[in-house]
């Protein structure tokens, strides 16, 4: 996480300033559209704002880019649980390892 936009976005995220963090992260994605770290943080922002359908789409995209990242699968499972999709959440956790 050496990118200054990612660092600033992470600090905003810690303060639950989700909209501001997401804006910075989208700026970062404009430069690197396949950055799974930015997508992870956007997904967390969306989760924090209760935009669960958006969050799931973001984590799906991030997992497609980095399927070996167990943390992405765990976040995806969290979203699925909040969407009352327990079987899919369990499958995501199994994939996480």
Q: For residue 42, with 0-12 CB atoms within 10 Å meaning exposed, 13-18 middle and 19 or more buried, which class applies?
A: buried
Q: Please count the structural domains in the chain.
A: 1
Q: What is the pTM of this model?
A: 0.92
Which tens digit of pLDDT belongs to each residue from 35-71? Answer: 999 999 999 999 999 999 999 999 999 999 999 999 9
Residue 28's domain spans which residues?
A: 4-96
Q: In this predicted structure, what is the pLDDT of residue 1?
A: 41
Query: d(Cα 16, Cα 53) in Å, to the nearest integer?
Result: 19
CATH code of 30's domain: 1.25.40.10
Q: In this predicted structure, what is the pLDDT of residue 96?
A: 84
Spell out the residues 6+ positions from residue 14 whose beta carbon is closer than 8 angstroms to its own: none
């Amino acid at each position: 996480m050496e990118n200054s936009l990612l660092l600033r976005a992470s600090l905003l995220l810690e303060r639950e300033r989700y909209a501001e963090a997401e804006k910075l992260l989208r700026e970062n994605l404009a430069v690197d559209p396949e950055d799974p770290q930015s997508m992870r943080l956007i997904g967390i922002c969306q989760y924090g704002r209760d935009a669960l359908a958006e969050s799931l789409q973001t984590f799906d995209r991030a997992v497609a880019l980095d399927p070996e990242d167990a943390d992405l699968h765990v976040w995806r499972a969290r979203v699925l649980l909040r969407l009352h999709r327990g079987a899919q959440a369990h499958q995501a956790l199994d994939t996480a390892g």
